[in-house]
Amino acid sequence: MIDIAIIATLTLLGYLFGRAAERRHFASILRREEQLKELLVFNERHLPPGDWQQGPLVGGNVVISLDYFKRVVSTLKSLFGGRLTAYESLLERARREALLRMKAQAHTLGAQMVVNVRLETASISKGKGDQIGSVEVYAYGTALIR
């Protein structure tokens, strides 16, 4: 009986702390996206028309882990099939964070635009059955300076 109470308590704590951390992270992402909205990013390979000077390669890297509660829920959902929204949220946060870090680096270099933007994604497996423990996303592109 005490084992069930411990598992239920840990699951509840995982849910509460994981949800709070995810909300804080999304709030931080929204705030920084607003600050860097003037710096445009494109996946086009060619320079846009105008007097642009090609700057250096800029990049942003992030590794984000799935919280305990979402890992448990995703494991249960995978038994029945369907969308794993916990992983969708994880990937969205990772992509947006990596792009923000790339934009921040370009901003410090005085760039007005980043072109040829690419995203690389890797999962970091952990535990039995190669469960996904965390995901890494690297965003990179070429900074353009006027």
Residue 81, pLDDT score: 74
Between 139 and 74, the higher pLDDT residue: 139
CA distance 9 to 68: 12
Q: What is the CATH number of the domain that holds 28?
A: 3.30.110.70
Q: How many domains does the chain have?
A: 1
Residue 140, pLDDT score: 98
Residue with tokens 């370009």: 106
Token reading at 106: 């370009």
Q: Which stretch, 37-51, 97-111, 132-146, has highest mean pLDDT?
A: 97-111
Residues of the domain holding 108: 2-145
DSSP code string of 86-137: HHHHHHHHHHHHHHHHHHHHHHHTT-SEEEEEEEEEEEEEETGGGEEEEEEE
Per-residue pLDDT tens for 7-34?
A: 888 878 878 888 898 899 999 999 999 9
Contact 64, 90 (CB under 8 A): yes
